[in-house]
Structure 1
Amino acid sequence: MGNGYGTAKGGSPKARVAHYKTCWPPFFPACADADNLAAIDAAIYDGVDVISASIGGREDAEHFESGVQIGAFHAMKHGIPVVAGAGNFGPAPSTVRNSAPWLITAGASTIDRDFVNYVTLGNGKILKGASLSYKGFPPDDKLYPLITPEDAKVPNASVAETDRNFCNAKNYQMDLNKLKGKILVCINKKQKATSNDISSLQPPAAGANKDVSEPGVGIITINDKESGNFLRVNPDKIAISSMNFTTGESIFAYIKSTKNPVAKISSAMTEFNMEAAPMVPPFSSRGPSIVEPNIIKPDITAPGVNIIAANIGDPQFPYKTLSGTSMSIPHVAGIVGLLKILHPHWTPSAIKSAIMTTATTKDKSSRSILDTNNKEMTPFDYGSGQVRPDLAADPGLVYDLSVDDYLNFSCARGTDEKIISMFYPEKTFVCPKFSNLGDFNYPSIAVAHLNDSVTITRRLKNVGKPETYNVSVEEPTGVSVQVEPKSLTFGKQGEEKTFKAVFKRDSNDKLDRYVFGALTWSDGYHHVRSPIAVKL
């Protein structure tokens, strides 16, 4: 529709893609564990290099009680990284899914491109909205009357007081004849209503003209307070503009201020280089994980808002825009594919570490990453930060993990040894006599309970040139962090060095909340950063 020119490419444009269908009736949209496991098993057998799994589960699902996480463990054993989504259940805390440490768990972020249009009100105000509508609605500079669902309802329509003016209010019948030649203004509660819902869901009143195929000129949908500033767009057959909550309030104020409110909707256009990007959308699921508070999840964020995707089966719209962590997953999977080309001998955990430790927590304006309501975010919102594939290609150091490391971690969590041994039938496995969750070599650092002091151990592998790395720490509020040694010298590629970090409370005040910081190793060129989350 004139909003893009040229060819769209994926993250690994020369990759061959293998699809495995896992979601079947009667389970759909859920997917049976047996099908998930069968698909992952087939992918392992077929020799894929990376698995992109847009499948979630319960936020309280244990690692070895989830088909995706069980299958992902076996893929990891075969050297295949698995990328899965954090879920779309934010912004509430502890909603993150797919929290197993062998998964790369991706949250969503916005990008610096917006699809926009403008609404001009009768009082001269011009308001910016989001849209991907056909051009030419309305086809001239004429201002059209504005109407709300309350004013368009059929006589005696029954609707709860709290649902008035919602686009998708249940049992809310609108008289399509009343919409003819007008622009409908309605509240899109939790952004669940689509333009198709709005324009066709409500039947006309009895006796109304059923031949009216295009009763309204256009629609202005307005976020409810909960949705705030976050806006989704989709290709639409009618003139539509989506507005955030604040802008919507000014539209309703204008409607109330005059007997004849009017407006017009401009054509959709693309705007680039938005400075407030990336941001975290409200739907992206947040940590801390219910089942895995000893590591930070999600691991990373990647583009997941208004992403252009192929749309099969609709010749009028061969593409659509989608929002969700299922859009972030293939971005990360594409990056994993590129890293496997550059570093074919890296383990899945080395690839994951490279992606996490090189991520950025700043937006394009060098400010801390915010959510779409301008609230500052933490590692439980964006993990290690926004993915930086250019830096991930050359991370300098990585936190590497073996299959035994993952099994020992499960032992430390108290998982039954008999269950653990079932996942490693290749050899006899026995849990170590002593195991410490703090010694798990993860690229991020979480201390689920800091009563007095906790010591964690980490191991770094050099994947670059011989260099000396020095440590720096952004200490969480109320916590002191001492790292030994403070300098690590690597004489060759593949060499590994160990360090310890001691976390101590500055006071005995029980805050019952998380505080955040970061630990970074740097040789002046590489910056190997691990986010820190400590609960006091």
Structure 2
Amino acid sequence: MAPRAHLSIYKVCYSDGCQESDVLSGIDRAIKDGVDIVQMSLGGDSTPRFNDDPIVHGSLSALRRGISAVASAGNNGPDHLTLSHDAPWVLTVGASSTDRRIRATVKLGNGMELDGESAYQPTSFDSSVMLPIVYGLFCNDSSKMNQISGKIVLCELGDIKNIEKGKLILQAQGAAMILMNPVPRGYTTSSDAHVLPASSLSYYDSIKVIRYYTTVGASATATIVFKGTVFNSRPSPAVASFLQGTRNQKRRHSRPTSSHPA
């Protein structure tokens, strides 16, 4: 913490994105103003050469004047060769989780309880009532959601944003939604501000839900219990699944340099 620090803020991104000339101009202005640290929460695509990355290029000029440069690793992972700003003179920071969760626990008809997340914590949802589960639907197209009224819909991630899926399900009179992580997402769940009762589950818990559904079939039921904010959640801290992968094996330094809660 730096309670007496002064902030100099430079606008380098506009409606058309973050242009290279604007980024370099912002870094130059910060250098002229005599800042001690340049912090750039700008992602961007991985580049084959350092000269192709304006943040890396500008950060070298800052370093030559004794100014530390900090940049984000980006959110395009976890595939390899997706890391941004991986020069050895840049402190590259990735995202990680805290031990705090906004809990939305999925309770299956077989008694199994799976802890998920949701920022929407409805007080009017009756968690004591077990509702039918439906799966295999297209969660991004309400016209294909037949007979889901009063049911909990299992949705896989992708195609459209999670909140938009919930809006479509709500329009089709679905009662709730369970969002299931694919393999690359692992333990990284999202506490989104949904429009209906929902829970975001890890990949490992999602597999348990699917196994239960395929075993029981049409008689499968579930509910969601909303528990508010809880602490000491595990595993944590954990590196976010969307943190970029290794930049280039030919470069003999590892990135990101550190990770912090997103």
The structure-2 alpha-carbon separation of the partners of 1:196 and 1:112, relative to structure 1 and needing over 3 Å to count, comes to closer
Q: C-alpha separation between the residues in 2 aligned to 1:215 and 1:195?
A: 17
Q: C-alpha separation between the residues in 2 aligned to 1:137 and 1:77?
A: 59
Q: C-alpha separation between the residues in 2 aligned to 1:224 and 1:185?
A: 13
For residue 200 of structure 2, what is the amino acid of its counterpart? S
Q: Is the 8 A contact 1:59 1:289 kept in 2?
A: no
Map residues 258-337 of structure 1 onto 2, 5 A cutoff: 258-289=217-248, 293-304=251-262
Map residues 14-25 of structure 1 onto 2, 5 A cutoff: 14-25=4-15
| Structure showing greater relative contact order (alpha-carbon pairs closer than 8 Å, 6 or more residues apart) | 2
Q: C-alpha separation between the residues in 2 aligned to 1:98 and 1:131?
A: 32
The offset of 1:121, in angstroms, is 1.9
The structure-2 alpha-carbon separation of the partners of 1:240 and 1:20, relative to structure 1 and needing over 3 Å to count, comes to same
Residue equivalent to 2:195: 237
Residue equivalent to 2:110: 123
For residue 84 of structure 1, what is the amino acid of its counterpart? A
The structure-2 alpha-carbon separation of the partners of 1:201 and 1:37, relative to structure 1 and needing over 3 Å to count, comes to farther
Deviations 1:410-438 (A, max 9, x none): xxxxxxxxxxxxxxxxxxxxxxxxxxxxx
Residue equivalent to 1:500: none
Deviations 1:445-497 (A, max 9, x none): xxxxxxxxxxxxxxxxxxxxxxxxxxxxxxxxxxxxxxxxxxxxxxxxxxxxx
Q: C-alpha separation between the residues in 1 aligned to 2:36 and 2:63?
A: 11
Residue equivalent to 1:407: none
Q: How many pairs were matched up?
A: 261
Q: What runs of 5+ residues in structure 2 fail to find an aligned partner? A: none
Q: Is the 8 A contact 2:148 2:172 kept in 1?
A: no
Q: Is the 8 A contact 1:227 1:245 kept in 2?
A: yes
For residue 39 of structure 1, what is the amino acid of its counterpart? G
The structure-2 alpha-carbon separation of the partners of 1:116 and 1:193, relative to structure 1 and needing over 3 Å to count, comes to farther
Structure 1 position 72 matched with structure 2 position 59: yes
Percent of pairs with identical residues: 28
Map residues 100-499 of structure 1 onto 2, 5 A cutoff: 100-139=87-126, 141-150=128-137, 167-168=139-140, 173-175=143-145, 178-189=147-158, 193-200=160-167, 215-256=173-214, 257-289=216-248, 293-304=251-262
Q: C-alpha separation between the residues in 2 aligned to 1:232 and 1:130?
A: 6
Q: C-alpha separation between the residues in 1 aligned to 2:68 and 2:207?
A: 46
Q: C-alpha separation between the residues in 1 aligned to 2:259 and 2:127?
A: 42
The offset of 1:144, in angstroms, is 2.1
Deviations 1:280-315 (A, max 9, x none): 23221232536x6133332222223xxxxxxxxxxx
Secondary structure class of the residue paired with 1:107: strand
The offset of 1:13, in angstroms, is 4.8
The offset of 1:149, in angstroms, is 4.8
Q: Is the 8 A contact 2:41 2:71 kept in 1?
A: yes
For residue 133 of structure 1, what is the amino acid of its counterpart? Y
The offset of 1:75, in angstroms, is 2.1
The structure-2 alpha-carbon separation of the partners of 1:137 and 1:44, relative to structure 1 and needing over 3 Å to count, comes to farther
Q: C-alpha separation between the residues in 2 aligned to 1:112 and 1:140?
A: 25
The offset of 1:172, in angstroms, is 7.1
Q: C-alpha separation between the residues in 2 aligned to 1:85 and 1:121?
A: 39
Deviations 1:40-90 (A, max 9, x none): 122223333322212234423422332212221222233321111222233
Residue equivalent to 1:32: 19
Compute the TM-score of the two structures, normalised by the length of structure 1. 0.44
Deviations 1:77-114 (A, max 9, x none): 33321111222233333432212222111123222222
Which one has the largest radius of gyration? 1
Q: C-alpha separation between the residues in 2 aligned to 1:286 and 1:140?
A: 40
Structure 1 position 99 matched with structure 2 position 86: yes
Q: Is the 8 A contact 2:78 2:242 kept in 1?
A: yes
Q: What runs of 5+ residues in structure 1 fail to find an aligned partner? A: 1-10, 151-164, 203-211, 305-536
Q: Is the 8 A contact 2:130 2:223 kept in 1?
A: yes
State which of 17, 40, 48 in structure 1 corresponds to 2:35: 48
What value does the CA root-mean-square deviation take over the aligned residues?
Answer: 2.8
